[in-house]
Amino acid sequence: MGATIRTFALFAFMLGLFMAIGWLVGTFFIGNWMLGTIMFLVLAGLINAFSYFFSSKIVMWSYRVKLVNEVEAPRLYRLVRQISSMNGIPMPKVGIVPTSTPNAFATGRNPKNAVVCATEGIMRMLDDEELLGVLAHEMAHVKDRDILIMSVAATIAGAISFAARFALYGSLFSNRDNEGGLIVGIVVAITAPLAAMIVQMAISRNREYKADYEGAKLIGRPLYLARALEKLEVANKRDPIRFGNPASSSLWIVNPFSGRGLVTIFSTHPPMAERIKRLKKMANSMGQY
């Protein structure tokens, strides 16, 4: 419940920030603060609607996901179905990402429309227990509708960055005598995207900790995931994924772009050492060593 409240509070902040930009645009460049606020509120609604219906399709396309059946991927399909049947979760579709980078993610707006995806690399690297731990983590995301939450957060963050640039361009070209508007435009262009990025990362890290915990509960074995994360952290730094969009890195169980320069500065994932520490503490509390 605490994680859910924090997530909604962060979303409220992002929505408020988006509307504040609308108020500033309306006040300084349209001459009507109410019109600007309403315009940006409607835009936020349209963005959320687009994310709800199309974000999973875009993600699957960008990572070249191939949907597979039980005959084509018997091991992966069996483990996903095991978690699903054990916990009364609707069986999701199963997909494979054609890359040697060992990783996994889930997408879909709700459990009935979910897809659990694993890379070719992760199926070669992990044994059945470790892969079960990873897939349970992804199924926890499905169960809690985290994919939708993180997709919408990423979309709103992108929209805030666009709106901030719009405010800056408006201040530069709409009225050159309006020094106050120019200063506001510059401040908004710098601070709003940064604030949105920080909030998006906070939402992502919050949901990752929760999925680690919930996934371990689904199978009753926290150490399965802990062992997998230790391997995946090293492997993704050594062999980051070569395609896709870093804006969607929060969907993966481990940041697949962690080897790419500045991407490491702003991480969408919690520190790996802390994730593993929490899982081991959970295992100890359950009498597992």
Q: Which residues are catalytic?
A: 138
Tokens 């690297």 -> residue? 125
Structure tokens at 20: 């504040």
Residues 6+ apart with CB under 8 A from 52: 109, 148, 152
Angle between helices 272-285 and 179-219 (to 10 degrees): 30
What are the helix and strand counts (H, E) for the chain?
Answer: 9, 4
CA dist 208 and 68 (Å) reads 26
Amino acid letter, residue 1:
M
End-to-end CA distance of the chain: give it in Å, rounded: 28
Q: What are phi and psi for residue 271, nearest 5 degrees? A: -60, 130
Work out the number of other CB atoms within 10 angstroms of the CB of residue 77: 17
CA dist 229 and 217 (Å) reads 16
CA dist 120 and 102 (Å) reads 7
- 84 near 92, Cβ under 8 Å? yes
Degrees, nearest 5: CA angle 189-149-215: 135
CA dist 285 and 184 (Å) reads 52
